[in-house]
Amino acid sequence: MIIPLVLGIVVGYAIRGKVKFNFELLMSVTLVTLILLMGMKAGNVKVDALKILSYSITLALTSVVGSVTLAKIMWRE
């Protein structure tokens, strides 16, 4: 994993100022491609999404209700 990073740093230092290339466009395309592939992988996993969604919503709501309740109990003017 670290070898491509080190190799990229070495190549970057070697071509610094010599090559004019739009690296921002390349990085944007690469990032969008990675996000697409992550979405495809997540969509391929067989899980009961509605069950997980209901657990997530329940956890979020109980957290908010608990926080608001505790804030009202602890509030002092």
- Give the torsion sign (CA, 53, 58, 61, 66): negative
pLDDT tens per residue across span 43-65: 787 777 788 889 999 999 999 99
pLDDT tens digits, residue range 3-58? 888 998 899 888 888 878 788 898 999 999 999 999 888 878 777 778 888 999 99
Residue with tokens 């670290």: 2
Give the integer Cα–Cα distance in Å for 62 and 55. Answer: 11
Amino acid letter, residue 45: V
